[in-house]
Amino acid sequence: MRVVISSLLPDIQAERKRTGLDRWDEMWEGVLHMPPMPNRDHQDLEGSLETYLRFNWTPPRLAKVYHQINVAAMGGWPNDYRIPDLVMLLPQSFAIDRNEYFEGAPDAVVEIQSPGDETDEKMPFYRDLGVPEVWIIHGDTRTPEIHLLKRRRYKRQTATREGWIVSPRTGIELAGRNGNRRSD
C-alpha cells in the first residue's frame, strides 16, 4: 500500500526519530518515503553479505563497505537521498564520505529487494548519481543481478556459462541461479 502524507507532524517525526523508526526513511526530491523495516530474512542476508565483504573483499583492496548509509548527489543532502542496503567503496571513492551521508557515487550499491519495495524506482537516482554498479538481490530467492552503468543506462550483466555473475568494479563473482559453488 502506498501512502502519501502532505506533511509530517513534528511530534510524529520526533517520535520516529526517538524510537529509531526513521532509520530507513529516505527523502526523494523533498518527499519523505517511509518504508517498513526489513524483515529478519532480509537483515540476515544483508548481515551475512556485509560480513563476507568486510573480511574477504575489503582488506586486500583497502576498500570499505557500509550498511544503511545515506547516499546523495552533490548538494542534494538533506532533501534528496536514498539508503541502499550496502555501499561499497574503493579507495579512490573515499572522498565522498561526509560521515552522515555520502555525497556522490559509491563504486557499488546493493539493494536486497523485498516484495513491494521501491528498489526499481531507485534506479534512476543511482543512474543520475553515476553509480557504476547496482546489485539487486531478490530477498525471497536470493537470486542476484548486477546492473552496469553504460552510456547513462543500466545494463544487466549476463551470467557465465557456469552461472556466475561477475562484478567488473569489485572483482566479486556472485552465484546466479545456476551457479555452482567453487572450491577455492
Residue 184 has pLDDT above 50, yes or no: no
Residue 3 has pLDDT above 60, yes or no: no
What pLDDT band is residue 35 in, cutting at 50, 70 and 90?
confident
Phi, psi dihedrals of residue 33, rounded to the nearest 5°: -110, 125
Mean pLDDT across the stretch 154-171? 94
Residue 104 has pLDDT above 80, yes or no: yes
**What percentage of the chain reaches a pLDDT higher than 70?**
88
Mean pLDDT across the stretch 54-62? 97
Q: Which pLDDT belongs to residue 34? A: 75
135: cell is 546489485
Q: Which pLDDT belongs to residue 182? A: 45
Mean pLDDT across the stretch 4-10? 62
Phi, psi dihedrals of residue 154, rounded to the nearest 5°: -90, 130
Q: How far is residue 44 from each of residues 39, 66, 113, 128, measured CA to CA in Å?
A: 9, 15, 13, 30
CA nearest neighbour of 35 among 111, 89, 90: 111
Tens digits of residue pLDDT in 66-101: 999 999 999 999 999 999 999 999 999 999 999 999
What pLDDT band is residue 11 in, cutting at 50, 70 and 90?
confident
Q: Which pLDDT belongs to residue 165? A: 95
Would strands 86-89 and 70-72 be described as parallel, antiparallel, or unpaired?
unpaired
Mean pLDDT taken over the chain: 88
* β-sheet bridge partners, residue 136: 111, 145
Least confident of 16-25, 80-89, 142-151: 16-25
Q: Which pLDDT belongs to residue 15? A: 79
pTM, two decimal places: 0.84
Residue whose C-alpha cell is 536514498: 82
Q: What domains appear along the chain, each with residue ranges and CATH number? A: 38-175 (3.90.1570.10)
122: cell is 531507485
Q: How far is residue 155 from each of residues 37, 106, 119, 133, 136, measured CA to CA in Å?
A: 29, 18, 16, 10, 12
Query: Residue 155, Cβ neighbours under 10 Å: how many?
Result: 11
Residue 2 has pLDDT above 90, yes or no: no
Residue 180 has pLDDT above 70, yes or no: no
